[in-house]
Structure 1
Amino acid sequence: MTGAAGRIATAIRPLLLEAGHSLVLCDAAEVSAVTPGERVVRADLRDIDAHVAAFVGADLVVHLGALADERPWPDLLAVNVDGTRAVCEAARLAGVDRLLLASSVHAAGYLPADSTAACDGMPLPAPDTYYGVSKAAVEALGALFAGRFAMTVVSARIMAFSARPVGAYGLHWWLSPADMARLVLVTLTTRNGGHHVVWGVSRNTRSHVDPAPGLAIGFDPQDDAELHAAEIERSGPAGSPRLLGGVFADADYRLGEPHGGPTAPR
């Protein structure tokens, strides 16, 4: 698991351990609260040799390492694009033929939330930022390695990951830790080879996106943000997002400058 010090990895690690799996935690940053069944590898995301050594013997690589917000283009290119290529190459060299890649809703953030393209099937990329472009590149790398090297690769367009839905848009976009863990386990067991782009979102009553691509590989999320609707709506009516990218697609959101927050989709 790359990006093991990050918030998604930190939240799902206990769930994967509980399911009986051993974890190799890869990150350049310090990984906290390491428990039995976990091993830490400190490495830069672009260090292919270090990741080959870490991945040998693994059944699945979960690639969460990334800059998870808008940044200057050279930073996103170095980490999100070059880093993903290095991880894919390391998995191939280590003999791991299954990959879960963390893409983002921002790879398609300029789509109207209520459009047919957004609500039916899986749309082509429509990035809303340089960050969104970098995640579209992650998907393209996944397709390349799946096609050229007969790997099973799932690119998850993660929406709004958090322990509980945050803000009004969270009722539409929430991805729970339990459902993220389910997606990891499905990628480990699915019999559908090749490259699959799926929505990383829970089974929210107000969701705008189609669960069918995920269901096709066995991803059947169970959590629903609607259980938290009364609490969220006490602070005001819950509006519906105009575009999938939310604030990232706003005209005053300047390219290359960090601007995300806890209410923005990932």
Structure 2
Amino acid sequence: MALIALTGASGRIATALRPRLRAAGHRLVLCDAPGVAVPDVDPATERAVESDLRDVDAQAEAFAGADLVVHLGAFSDERPWPEILAVNIDGTRAVCEAARLAGVGRLLLASSVHAAGYVPVDAPLVRDGMPLPAPDTYYGVSKAALEALGGLYAGRFAMTVVSARIMTFDDRPGGPRSLQSWLSGDDMARLVLATLTTRATGHHVVWGVSRNTRRVVDLAPGLAIGFDPQDDAEAHASDAERRGPSRPPGLLGGGFADAAYVLGEPHGGTRTGS
């Protein structure tokens, strides 16, 4: 039984992970901002902690004794630069530093496909390997910075750090495009458990994606740390395709990389010509 700390514990991904990790026998520390309630805390297996994402000392105290920190706390969409800088970048630095001070040797950092949003979907390193960052928004920049911080802490402090470029996380594929990019709740849990148990050391950038038939990205980086996804969006293809036609994106970032997507505006602001 391991102790796993989650930041952003009230969010969608953490909410999906919690019952799965408890079922695997693990105890959880649930960290979120002051005033943000984490619902349905199980006192037998979970402990909720209020801590500002940028408060290194408070988070180090919360992380004490943990075997793994899963960093999910962030704005999950485009925001003005000062907000992205404060929460997504400064917050990630604080989480990494708090984990180091607490003696936690393993980190799973939630990156995003938008760290590489301007990479063409047919680029060679998409199908076979892992492309360098090419962010499509301020949000994407924050995830590229997250990956850089993961590399720094792995190299300087001999931590095992996995930066997962999460594609489309949901209960089921929401539309035709997500038949390529879906990440299921069960596979997200498999990614957490792979990070907890991997014998790999150093920093690893992997795709947060299920084993989808229509997947365009390479599973090999994840397999190298023991992440072997099992679910396939194709099981939901008929439902997803009924939601309307969708042309395959030319870039990994899809609409985020569109010229009409306004930097600094949540959801890209008002798009023209779409």
Question: Does structure 1 residue 33 correspond to structure 2 residue 21?
Answer: no
Contact 1:106 1:135 in 2 (8 A): yes
Question: Does structure 1 residue 11 correspond to structure 2 residue 16?
Answer: yes
Aligned to 2:188: 180
TM-score (norm 2): 0.93
Aligned to 1:253: 261
Match of 1:193 among 181, 196, 201: 201
How well do the aligned residues superpose, as a CA RMSD in angstroms? 1.1
Aligned-residue offset at 1:234: 2.2
Aligned to 2:119: 111
Greater RCO (Cα-Cα under 8 Å, separation 6 or more)? 1
Question: Does structure 1 residue 130 correspond to structure 2 residue 167?
Answer: no
Aligned to 1:43: 51
Please identify, of 163-172 and 231-240, the stretch whose mean Cα deviation from structure 2 is larger: 231-240
Q: 1:84, 1:127 → 2: CA distance?
A: 17
Aligned-residue offset at 1:80: 0.6
Q: Which runs of 5+ in 2 are unaligned?
A: 1-5, 270-274
Match of 2:226 among 208, 218, 225: 218
TM-score (norm 1): 0.96
**Partner AA of 1:3 in structure 2:** G
Question: Does structure 1 residue 58 correspond to structure 2 residue 66?
Answer: yes
Question: Does structure 1 residue 69 correspond to structure 2 residue 74?
Answer: no
Aligned-residue offset at 1:11: 0.7
Contact 1:111 1:117 in 2 (8 A): no
Aligned to 1:264: none
Q: 2:246, 2:219 → 1: CA distance?
A: 22
Q: 2:114, 2:153 → 1: CA distance?
A: 22
Contact 2:17 2:189 in 1 (8 A): yes
Q: Which runs of 5+ in 1 are unaligned?
A: 262-266
Match of 1:150 among 149, 158, 182: 158
Deviations 1:39-67 (A, max 9, x none): 00001100111111111100000000000
**Partner AA of 2:152 in structure 1:** L
Q: Give 3-state SS (helix, strand or coil) of 1:167's partner.
A: coil
Q: Report % sequence identity.
A: 74
